[in-house]
Chains A and B, each alone.
Chain A
Amino acid sequence: MPPSFLHQPTKFLYPAATLTLWLTTALITLNDNLVETSFIQGTSMSPSLSPAYHTTGHRDLVLWNKWISHSNGPGSLKRGDIVLFRSPTRPDCNAVKRVVGLEGDRITLDPQRRPAGDSSPESRVWDAMEANADPHGGSGGVVVPPGHIWVEGDFWRKSQDSNAYGPLSKSLVMGKAMLVLWPWERCATRPWVGYESATRVVEGRVGRKGDEVGLVDAIRAG
Protein backbone atom coordinates (compact mmCIF):
# COMPACT_ATOMS: atom_id res chain seq x y z
CA MET A 1 0.00 0.00 0.00
CA PRO A 2 1.41 3.40 -0.88
CA PRO A 3 2.12 5.72 2.00
CA SER A 4 -0.80 8.06 2.54
CA PHE A 5 -1.54 11.07 4.64
CA LEU A 6 -3.80 9.01 6.89
CA HIS A 7 -1.33 6.24 7.55
CA GLN A 8 1.83 8.28 8.03
CA PRO A 9 0.86 11.85 8.86
CA THR A 10 4.32 12.85 10.05
CA LYS A 11 5.86 11.91 6.73
CA PHE A 12 3.88 14.72 5.07
CA LEU A 13 3.41 17.15 7.92
CA TYR A 14 7.11 17.62 8.56
CA PRO A 15 8.10 18.67 5.03
CA ALA A 16 4.98 20.77 4.70
CA ALA A 17 5.74 22.63 7.94
CA THR A 18 9.36 23.14 6.90
CA LEU A 19 8.34 24.52 3.53
CA THR A 20 5.78 26.86 5.09
CA LEU A 21 8.32 28.19 7.57
CA TRP A 22 10.89 28.77 4.82
CA LEU A 23 8.40 30.56 2.58
CA THR A 24 7.02 32.77 5.38
CA THR A 25 10.38 33.89 6.70
CA ALA A 26 11.73 34.48 3.20
CA LEU A 27 8.65 36.50 2.25
CA ILE A 28 8.83 38.68 5.37
CA THR A 29 12.52 39.40 4.82
CA LEU A 30 11.94 40.10 1.13
CA ASN A 31 9.05 42.44 1.90
CA ASP A 32 11.08 44.30 4.51
CA ASN A 33 14.15 44.84 2.41
CA LEU A 34 13.67 44.43 -1.33
CA VAL A 35 10.19 44.57 -2.87
CA GLU A 36 6.60 44.70 -1.74
CA THR A 37 3.24 44.72 -3.47
CA SER A 38 0.16 46.55 -2.30
CA PHE A 39 -3.22 47.65 -3.58
CA ILE A 40 -3.95 51.36 -3.95
CA GLN A 41 -7.05 52.26 -1.94
CA GLY A 42 -8.87 55.51 -2.45
CA THR A 43 -9.14 58.13 -5.15
CA SER A 44 -6.34 60.47 -4.13
CA MET A 45 -3.93 59.18 -6.81
CA SER A 46 -6.40 59.06 -9.70
CA PRO A 47 -6.03 59.41 -12.66
CA SER A 48 -2.57 57.86 -12.29
CA LEU A 49 -3.42 54.96 -9.99
CA SER A 50 -6.78 53.29 -9.29
CA PRO A 51 -8.64 55.63 -11.69
CA ALA A 52 -11.89 53.65 -11.45
CA TYR A 53 -11.94 53.40 -7.67
CA HIS A 54 -14.83 55.81 -7.15
CA THR A 55 -17.05 54.09 -9.74
CA THR A 56 -16.29 50.37 -9.77
CA GLY A 57 -13.95 50.07 -6.80
CA HIS A 58 -11.20 48.43 -8.86
CA ARG A 59 -7.81 48.83 -7.27
CA ASP A 60 -4.36 48.76 -8.83
CA LEU A 61 -1.64 46.45 -7.54
CA VAL A 62 1.71 48.21 -7.43
CA LEU A 63 5.19 46.78 -7.00
CA TRP A 64 7.32 48.86 -4.63
CA ASN A 65 11.08 49.10 -4.58
CA LYS A 66 12.13 49.19 -0.94
CA TRP A 67 15.87 49.28 -1.60
CA ILE A 68 16.04 53.05 -1.89
CA SER A 69 19.05 55.22 -1.28
CA HIS A 70 19.37 57.20 1.93
CA SER A 71 21.39 59.98 0.36
CA ASN A 72 20.95 62.50 -2.42
CA GLY A 73 22.79 60.34 -4.91
CA PRO A 74 21.48 59.13 -8.26
CA GLY A 75 19.35 56.40 -6.69
CA SER A 76 17.42 58.70 -4.40
CA LEU A 77 13.96 60.21 -4.70
CA LYS A 78 13.14 62.54 -7.58
CA ARG A 79 10.33 64.93 -8.29
CA GLY A 80 7.49 62.99 -9.88
CA ASP A 81 8.18 59.69 -8.12
CA ILE A 82 5.36 57.87 -6.38
CA VAL A 83 6.29 56.95 -2.82
CA LEU A 84 4.88 54.64 -0.18
CA PHE A 85 5.23 55.99 3.34
CA ARG A 86 3.87 55.62 6.85
CA SER A 87 1.19 58.21 7.46
CA PRO A 88 2.48 60.84 9.90
CA THR A 89 -0.98 61.26 11.39
CA ARG A 90 -1.96 57.57 11.59
CA PRO A 91 1.15 55.55 12.50
CA ASP A 92 -0.19 52.13 11.54
CA CYS A 93 -1.47 53.18 8.11
CA ASN A 94 0.45 53.50 4.86
CA ALA A 95 -0.09 56.25 2.33
CA VAL A 96 0.80 56.69 -1.35
CA LYS A 97 1.52 60.10 -2.83
CA ARG A 98 3.62 61.84 -5.48
CA VAL A 99 6.86 63.64 -4.66
CA VAL A 100 6.37 67.26 -5.73
CA GLY A 101 9.26 68.99 -3.98
CA LEU A 102 12.61 67.92 -2.59
CA GLU A 103 14.55 69.56 0.22
CA GLY A 104 15.42 73.15 -0.51
CA ASP A 105 12.55 73.58 -2.98
CA ARG A 106 10.10 76.43 -2.61
CA ILE A 107 6.47 75.34 -2.93
CA THR A 108 3.77 77.84 -3.81
CA LEU A 109 0.68 76.80 -1.91
CA ASP A 110 -2.31 76.16 -4.13
CA PRO A 111 -5.53 77.55 -2.59
CA GLN A 112 -7.46 74.81 -4.40
CA ARG A 113 -5.65 72.23 -2.31
CA ARG A 114 -6.43 73.82 1.02
CA PRO A 115 -7.96 71.14 3.30
CA ALA A 116 -11.67 71.52 3.79
CA GLY A 117 -13.13 73.09 6.88
CA ASP A 118 -12.59 76.39 8.64
CA SER A 119 -11.26 75.16 11.96
CA SER A 120 -10.19 71.58 11.24
CA PRO A 121 -6.60 70.81 12.36
CA GLU A 122 -5.52 70.24 8.73
CA SER A 123 -6.84 73.56 7.50
CA ARG A 124 -5.28 75.33 10.47
CA VAL A 125 -1.90 73.78 9.57
CA TRP A 126 -2.39 75.00 6.00
CA ASP A 127 -3.35 78.49 7.15
CA ALA A 128 -0.29 78.65 9.37
CA MET A 129 1.96 77.61 6.47
CA GLU A 130 0.29 80.21 4.27
CA ALA A 131 0.78 82.89 6.93
CA ASN A 132 4.45 81.98 7.42
CA ALA A 133 5.08 81.71 3.67
CA ASP A 134 8.51 83.02 3.06
CA PRO A 135 8.58 86.31 1.14
CA HIS A 136 12.28 85.80 0.34
CA GLY A 137 12.92 86.16 -3.35
CA GLY A 138 9.58 87.71 -3.96
CA SER A 139 7.82 84.46 -4.78
CA GLY A 140 6.67 83.39 -1.36
CA GLY A 141 5.85 79.80 -0.60
CA VAL A 142 6.98 77.10 1.77
CA VAL A 143 10.63 76.03 1.78
CA VAL A 144 11.02 72.28 2.26
CA PRO A 145 13.44 71.76 5.19
CA PRO A 146 16.44 69.40 4.98
CA GLY A 147 15.58 65.72 5.22
CA HIS A 148 12.01 66.34 4.11
CA ILE A 149 9.97 66.18 0.90
CA TRP A 150 6.71 67.70 -0.23
CA VAL A 151 4.11 65.10 -1.28
CA GLU A 152 0.77 65.63 -2.95
CA GLY A 153 -1.97 63.44 -4.38
CA ASP A 154 -2.81 63.77 -8.06
CA PHE A 155 -6.51 64.28 -7.34
CA TRP A 156 -6.51 67.76 -5.84
CA ARG A 157 -10.15 67.63 -4.77
CA LYS A 158 -9.66 64.88 -2.20
CA SER A 159 -6.19 64.16 -0.95
CA GLN A 160 -4.68 64.08 2.51
CA ASP A 161 -1.13 65.19 1.76
CA SER A 162 1.54 67.73 2.66
CA ASN A 163 -1.07 70.48 2.43
CA ALA A 164 -2.64 68.93 5.52
CA TYR A 165 0.43 67.94 7.56
CA GLY A 166 3.31 69.93 6.13
CA PRO A 167 6.58 68.63 4.68
CA LEU A 168 7.06 64.89 5.11
CA SER A 169 10.16 63.42 6.73
CA LYS A 170 12.15 61.27 4.34
CA SER A 171 12.63 58.72 7.13
CA LEU A 172 8.93 57.88 6.82
CA VAL A 173 9.32 56.87 3.19
CA MET A 174 9.36 53.10 2.80
CA GLY A 175 9.48 52.59 -0.93
CA LYS A 176 9.27 53.91 -4.45
CA ALA A 177 6.82 52.67 -7.09
CA MET A 178 8.34 50.47 -9.80
CA LEU A 179 5.47 49.04 -11.84
CA VAL A 180 1.77 48.38 -11.91
CA LEU A 181 1.14 44.62 -11.71
CA TRP A 182 -2.65 44.50 -11.88
CA PRO A 183 -5.07 45.00 -13.71
CA TRP A 184 -3.77 42.93 -16.60
CA GLU A 185 -4.34 45.63 -19.26
CA ARG A 186 -1.91 47.96 -17.50
CA CYS A 187 0.47 45.29 -16.25
CA ALA A 188 4.15 46.30 -16.29
CA THR A 189 3.34 49.93 -17.11
CA ARG A 190 4.10 53.11 -15.23
CA PRO A 191 0.99 55.27 -15.72
CA TRP A 192 2.23 58.00 -13.39
CA VAL A 193 5.10 59.03 -15.66
CA GLY A 194 4.49 62.23 -17.55
CA TYR A 195 1.84 63.64 -15.25
CA GLU A 196 2.35 67.36 -14.78
CA SER A 197 1.46 68.61 -11.34
CA ALA A 198 -0.17 72.03 -11.32
CA THR A 199 1.65 73.04 -8.12
CA ARG A 200 4.34 75.64 -8.74
CA VAL A 201 7.74 74.54 -7.46
CA VAL A 202 10.90 76.64 -7.49
CA GLU A 203 13.67 74.08 -7.42
CA GLY A 204 16.38 74.52 -4.84
CA ARG A 205 19.98 73.73 -5.51
CA VAL A 206 20.38 70.09 -4.50
CA GLY A 207 23.79 68.92 -5.61
CA ARG A 208 25.90 66.09 -4.41
CA LYS A 209 26.07 67.60 -0.94
CA GLY A 210 22.37 68.26 -0.89
CA ASP A 211 22.11 68.21 2.89
CA GLU A 212 24.38 71.19 3.34
CA VAL A 213 22.85 73.16 0.49
CA GLY A 214 19.37 72.53 1.82
CA LEU A 215 20.43 73.55 5.29
CA VAL A 216 22.01 76.76 4.02
CA ASP A 217 18.89 77.50 2.03
CA ALA A 218 16.71 76.93 5.06
CA ILE A 219 18.87 79.16 7.25
CA ARG A 220 18.80 81.89 4.62
CA ALA A 221 15.07 81.57 4.52
CA GLY A 222 14.98 82.11 8.25
Chain B
Amino acid sequence: MIRGRCLFRLPSIERVSLRTRLTKPIRRASTQPKPQPTTTTTTTYPKPRSLTRYLRTSPRLSLTYSFTKYFLASALLLHIFFEYFYVLELAWGISMLPTIASANDWVLISKLYRRGRNLHVGDVVSFKHPDKMGEYAVKRIVGMPGDFVVEGTPGKGGSGRMLQVPMGHCWVIGDNLTWSRDSRTFGALPLALVTGKVVRVFSFRQGWRKLNHGLQPAYAESDALD
Protein backbone atom coordinates (compact mmCIF):
# COMPACT_ATOMS: atom_id res chain seq x y z
CA MET B 1 0.00 0.00 0.00
CA ILE B 2 2.86 2.37 0.81
CA ARG B 3 4.71 1.10 -2.16
CA GLY B 4 2.02 2.20 -4.51
CA ARG B 5 1.86 5.75 -3.21
CA CYS B 6 5.60 6.36 -2.88
CA LEU B 7 7.10 8.93 -5.25
CA PHE B 8 10.74 8.09 -4.62
CA ARG B 9 12.47 4.79 -4.89
CA LEU B 10 13.25 3.40 -1.51
CA PRO B 11 16.67 1.93 -0.75
CA SER B 12 16.92 -1.67 -1.68
CA ILE B 13 17.16 -2.99 1.87
CA GLU B 14 13.90 -1.37 2.87
CA ARG B 15 12.26 -2.56 -0.26
CA VAL B 16 13.29 -6.06 0.53
CA SER B 17 12.05 -5.79 4.06
CA LEU B 18 8.78 -4.36 2.89
CA ARG B 19 8.42 -7.06 0.36
CA THR B 20 9.08 -9.73 2.91
CA ARG B 21 6.58 -8.17 5.20
CA LEU B 22 4.03 -8.12 2.48
CA THR B 23 4.74 -11.61 1.28
CA LYS B 24 4.34 -13.13 4.70
CA PRO B 25 1.66 -15.73 4.71
CA ILE B 26 -1.52 -14.42 6.17
CA ARG B 27 -2.80 -16.49 9.01
CA ARG B 28 -6.24 -17.64 8.39
CA ALA B 29 -8.55 -19.94 10.14
CA SER B 30 -7.98 -23.18 8.38
CA THR B 31 -10.80 -25.51 7.96
CA GLN B 32 -8.58 -28.56 8.11
CA PRO B 33 -6.75 -29.28 11.40
CA LYS B 34 -3.00 -29.42 11.17
CA PRO B 35 -1.48 -32.89 11.45
CA GLN B 36 -0.08 -33.29 14.95
CA PRO B 37 3.59 -34.22 15.01
CA THR B 38 4.18 -37.69 16.41
CA THR B 39 6.33 -37.69 19.50
CA THR B 40 9.60 -39.48 18.91
CA THR B 41 12.55 -39.84 21.27
CA THR B 42 15.37 -38.56 19.15
CA THR B 43 18.19 -36.63 20.68
CA THR B 44 19.23 -33.66 18.67
CA TYR B 45 22.83 -32.55 18.61
CA PRO B 46 24.01 -29.11 17.53
CA LYS B 47 25.15 -29.11 13.98
CA PRO B 48 28.92 -29.70 13.87
CA ARG B 49 30.74 -26.56 12.90
CA SER B 50 34.37 -26.07 11.99
CA LEU B 51 36.78 -24.28 14.29
CA THR B 52 37.01 -21.26 12.04
CA ARG B 53 33.23 -20.86 11.92
CA TYR B 54 33.11 -21.08 15.70
CA LEU B 55 35.85 -18.49 16.00
CA ARG B 56 33.98 -16.19 13.66
CA THR B 57 31.27 -15.84 16.25
CA SER B 58 33.48 -13.58 18.40
CA PRO B 59 35.68 -10.91 16.83
CA ARG B 60 38.12 -10.98 19.74
CA LEU B 61 38.53 -14.75 19.56
CA SER B 62 38.94 -14.61 15.82
CA LEU B 63 41.62 -11.93 16.03
CA THR B 64 43.58 -13.85 18.67
CA TYR B 65 43.41 -17.00 16.60
CA SER B 66 44.61 -15.45 13.37
CA PHE B 67 47.34 -13.51 15.15
CA THR B 68 48.64 -16.68 16.83
CA LYS B 69 48.50 -18.59 13.57
CA TYR B 70 50.48 -16.06 11.59
CA PHE B 71 52.98 -15.55 14.43
CA LEU B 72 53.61 -19.29 14.70
CA ALA B 73 53.89 -19.74 10.96
CA SER B 74 56.39 -16.91 10.58
CA ALA B 75 58.42 -18.14 13.57
CA LEU B 76 58.67 -21.65 12.13
CA LEU B 77 59.57 -20.47 8.64
CA LEU B 78 62.11 -17.95 9.93
CA HIS B 79 63.77 -20.61 12.06
CA ILE B 80 64.13 -22.88 9.03
CA PHE B 81 65.42 -20.04 6.86
CA PHE B 82 67.98 -18.91 9.43
CA GLU B 83 69.06 -22.45 10.28
CA TYR B 84 69.33 -23.94 6.82
CA PHE B 85 69.71 -21.09 4.30
CA TYR B 86 70.99 -17.62 5.22
CA VAL B 87 71.43 -15.49 8.29
CA LEU B 88 72.76 -11.97 8.80
CA GLU B 89 74.71 -11.40 12.01
CA LEU B 90 76.69 -8.61 13.59
CA ALA B 91 80.40 -9.41 13.80
CA TRP B 92 82.58 -8.12 16.59
CA GLY B 93 86.29 -8.26 17.27
CA ILE B 94 89.61 -7.38 15.73
CA SER B 95 90.77 -10.81 14.63
CA MET B 96 89.66 -10.40 10.98
CA LEU B 97 90.59 -6.75 10.72
CA PRO B 98 91.52 -5.95 7.13
CA THR B 99 88.55 -7.96 5.92
CA ILE B 100 85.88 -7.43 8.56
CA ALA B 101 85.85 -4.30 10.74
CA SER B 102 86.06 -4.60 14.50
CA ALA B 103 82.53 -3.25 14.92
CA ASN B 104 79.39 -2.35 12.95
CA ASP B 105 79.98 -4.94 10.22
CA TRP B 106 77.26 -7.45 9.45
CA VAL B 107 78.17 -10.80 7.93
CA LEU B 108 75.82 -12.75 5.68
CA ILE B 109 76.38 -16.43 6.47
CA SER B 110 75.29 -19.05 3.97
CA LYS B 111 74.22 -22.14 5.88
CA LEU B 112 74.43 -24.22 2.70
CA TYR B 113 78.12 -24.68 3.60
CA ARG B 114 77.39 -25.95 7.10
CA ARG B 115 79.57 -28.74 8.49
CA GLY B 116 82.23 -28.09 5.88
CA ARG B 117 80.26 -28.85 2.74
CA ASN B 118 81.97 -27.57 -0.44
CA LEU B 119 84.45 -25.54 1.55
CA HIS B 120 87.92 -24.73 0.22
CA VAL B 121 91.08 -23.18 1.53
CA GLY B 122 90.68 -19.39 1.64
CA ASP B 123 86.97 -19.35 2.55
CA VAL B 124 85.88 -17.30 5.55
CA VAL B 125 83.72 -19.43 7.80
CA SER B 126 81.61 -18.98 10.91
CA PHE B 127 81.86 -21.70 13.53
CA LYS B 128 80.91 -22.57 17.07
CA HIS B 129 83.84 -21.96 19.35
CA PRO B 130 85.34 -25.31 20.42
CA ASP B 131 86.36 -24.09 23.88
CA LYS B 132 83.62 -21.63 24.81
CA MET B 133 80.18 -23.10 24.51
CA GLY B 134 77.55 -20.83 23.03
CA GLU B 135 80.03 -18.52 21.32
CA TYR B 136 80.60 -18.14 17.61
CA ALA B 137 83.68 -16.97 15.72
CA VAL B 138 84.59 -16.00 12.16
CA LYS B 139 87.98 -17.00 10.72
CA ARG B 140 89.60 -17.96 7.43
CA ILE B 141 90.31 -21.58 6.47
CA VAL B 142 94.00 -22.18 5.84
CA GLY B 143 94.05 -25.97 5.75
CA MET B 144 91.55 -28.66 4.89
CA PRO B 145 91.81 -32.34 5.94
CA GLY B 146 95.12 -33.82 4.83
CA ASP B 147 96.81 -30.45 4.20
CA PHE B 148 100.06 -29.53 5.94
CA VAL B 149 100.07 -26.33 7.99
CA VAL B 150 102.60 -24.51 10.17
CA GLU B 151 101.81 -24.94 13.83
CA GLY B 152 102.73 -21.43 14.98
CA THR B 153 102.98 -18.00 13.37
CA PRO B 154 105.51 -17.88 10.52
CA GLY B 155 108.47 -15.64 11.37
CA LYS B 156 107.18 -14.89 14.88
CA GLY B 157 108.82 -17.61 16.86
CA GLY B 158 107.11 -20.82 17.70
CA SER B 159 108.28 -24.25 16.78
CA GLY B 160 107.62 -23.89 13.06
CA ARG B 161 106.61 -27.52 13.02
CA MET B 162 104.44 -28.71 10.14
CA LEU B 163 101.24 -30.53 11.06
CA GLN B 164 98.91 -32.58 8.96
CA VAL B 165 95.29 -31.53 9.49
CA PRO B 166 93.44 -34.67 10.71
CA MET B 167 90.45 -36.20 9.00
CA GLY B 168 87.24 -34.21 9.43
CA HIS B 169 89.05 -31.14 10.72
CA CYS B 170 90.25 -27.83 9.28
CA TRP B 171 92.82 -25.22 10.27
CA VAL B 172 91.42 -21.70 10.73
CA ILE B 173 93.43 -18.50 11.15
CA GLY B 174 92.31 -14.89 11.61
CA ASP B 175 93.46 -12.32 9.05
CA ASN B 176 94.89 -10.19 11.85
CA LEU B 177 97.69 -12.62 12.69
CA THR B 178 98.99 -10.86 15.79
CA TRP B 179 95.61 -10.40 17.48
CA SER B 180 93.69 -13.52 16.76
CA ARG B 181 92.91 -16.58 18.83
CA ASP B 182 92.46 -19.34 16.31
CA SER B 183 93.76 -22.81 15.47
CA ARG B 184 97.16 -21.74 16.81
CA THR B 185 95.44 -21.58 20.22
CA PHE B 186 92.82 -24.33 20.17
CA GLY B 187 94.22 -26.64 17.50
CA ALA B 188 92.45 -28.12 14.51
CA LEU B 189 88.76 -27.29 14.33
CA PRO B 190 86.23 -30.10 13.68
CA LEU B 191 84.36 -29.35 10.47
CA ALA B 192 81.16 -30.34 12.25
CA LEU B 193 81.40 -27.09 14.20
CA VAL B 194 81.35 -24.95 11.03
CA THR B 195 77.93 -23.32 10.81
CA GLY B 196 78.37 -21.63 7.44
CA LYS B 197 80.46 -19.61 5.04
CA VAL B 198 80.56 -15.81 5.04
CA VAL B 199 79.47 -14.80 1.54
CA ARG B 200 78.90 -11.02 1.93
CA VAL B 201 79.73 -8.31 4.43
CA PHE B 202 77.43 -5.35 5.01
CA SER B 203 78.05 -2.06 6.74
CA PHE B 204 75.99 1.10 6.62
CA ARG B 205 78.99 3.12 5.38
CA GLN B 206 80.19 0.86 2.59
CA GLY B 207 77.08 -1.12 1.77
CA TRP B 208 77.40 -4.69 0.59
CA ARG B 209 80.81 -6.03 -0.33
CA LYS B 210 82.14 -9.36 -1.46
CA LEU B 211 85.02 -11.11 0.26
CA ASN B 212 88.22 -11.60 -1.67
CA HIS B 213 89.89 -14.96 -1.59
CA GLY B 214 92.63 -13.60 0.61
CA LEU B 215 95.27 -16.21 -0.08
CA GLN B 216 97.61 -15.33 -2.93
CA PRO B 217 100.60 -17.36 -4.04
CA ALA B 218 103.69 -16.24 -2.20
CA TYR B 219 106.56 -14.68 -4.18
CA ALA B 220 110.08 -14.67 -2.88
CA GLU B 221 111.98 -11.41 -3.45
CA SER B 222 115.27 -13.16 -3.85
CA ASP B 223 116.19 -16.64 -4.80
CA ALA B 224 118.30 -17.04 -1.66
CA LEU B 225 115.59 -19.07 0.00
CA ASP B 226 116.63 -22.34 1.43
Q: Give A residues with C-beta under 8 Å from B.
A: 22, 25-26, 28-29, 32-33, 70-71, 86-92, 121, 145-148, 165, 169-172, 211
Contact = CB atoms under 8 A, between A and B. Distances in A.
B76 A25 contact: yes
* Nearest 7 CB-CB pairings of A with B: A86-B192, A147-B131, A169-B130, A88-B190, A25-B76, A91-B192, A70-B134
Contacts of B134: 70
B199 interface: no
Contacts of A28: 76, 79-80
A33 B75 CA distance: 13
Interface of B: 73, 75-77, 79-80, 83, 115-116, 128-134, 166-169, 190-194
Nearest to B188: A88
A121 B166 CA distance: 8
5 contacts: A25-B73, A29-B76, A121-B167, A148-B130, A170-B133
Contact of A171 (B130, B167, B169, B191): B130
Contacts of A172: 190, 192-193
B167 A89 contact: yes
A174 to B, nearest CB: 10
A146 B131 contact: yes
A90 B73 CA distance: 34
B115 A32 contact: no
Contacts of A211: 132
Contacts of A26: 76
Contact of A145 (B131, B167, B193, B194): B131
Contact of A25 (B80, B132, B169, B190): B80
A146 B73 CA distance: 39
The residue in A26, A87, A88, A165 that gathers the most chain B C-beta atoms within 10 A of its C-beta is A88
A88 B128 CA distance: 13
B190 A86 contact: yes
